[in-house]
Structure 1
Amino acid sequence: MPIAPQQLVILDRDGVINQDSDAYIKSLEEWIPYPSAIEAIARLSRAGFTVAVATNQSGIARGYYSEAVLARMHARLNSLVEDAGGRIANIAYCPHGPDDACSCRKPLPGLLHDIQKALELNSLAGSWIVGDSLRDLQAGEACGCRAVLVKTGKGEKTAAKGVGLEHALICADLAEFADALLAGDFD
């Protein structure tokens, strides 16, 4: 059965699902999830939402870690969410650096188009994009997604700037967003 776009929640990873670091998350040991985010993903999934992840991972291009290390982080993420009773339908990542002129690095919408293709959706319009930076929201807005800024990770600084957030909802964290979405507060 096809997924309705409004039932799709696309999450940024670093700063939304797990702690972020200006020095990059370079190993499985450095990948520290927010427990409330794992549970929020599981609750959304159990309620019928499809959850996907779109994440820039320029640390690969910079030589800080390999795609194999990233795969271990994502395997751990999937395992934690599944243990909580949920599921992540797709994880799309950009391994390129900011100067690589790719089409997938957010704020460009390439990662979201990859998710759209993987999930066989005609459109992402009406889907949710949840991020902690303006570039996450810009990628989603380019596809007609409803934007949500969380204040975890870099979100507090992004919110303080206030630029480009005219159409964004702002939540303390992913758990608060999930609570509100599941309560029907955003209809």
Structure 2
Amino acid sequence: MEKQYQVATFAGGCFWCMVKPFDEQPGIKSVISGYTGGTVENPTYQQVCTDTTGHFEAVQITYDPEIFPYEKLLELFWQQIDPTDSGGQFHDRGQSYQTAIFYHDDTQKKLAEQSKQALQKSGRFTRPIVTPILPAQTFYPAEDYHQQYYKKNRSHYESYHVGSGRAGFIQSHWRENNE
């Protein structure tokens, strides 16, 4: 019997930092860096960085829900971002670095909304959770040099992950989940 894979799409700021956490989980078939949510067809990285195309840097995850269900993907997504920041993520500012959950069906929408409400009610953050939940749009894979960046450019990725402020934020807000 063939596996029934599903797709999830998340924007969490710089897509380089959003691949590794998902890529290393069981049941994940692929994690692709790319662009979604904008108005330009087949945008380039240079175009998206101008914040004029409306695109988010995002990752598209193909996963086996029997092994790693969507609820676990959502849980892991929240642990990679500052969900209270509407202007970008960490040192990366602008529309293309904003966070969002892009749902592919009504079930994903419902689960995303429940997970956002649960995070807000948890008291983990004092400011409101502002990450929007949006319908999925066309996803354009990023250029090859962006794919699996954490493997291709390990030292630059690690210094960026720390230098951008993301690693410290994750450690201070999700310590018990990262030990």
TM-score normalized with structure 2 length? 0.32
Q: Comparing both chains, which one has the higher relative contact order based on Cα–Cα distances under 8 Å and sequence gaps of 6 or more?
A: 2
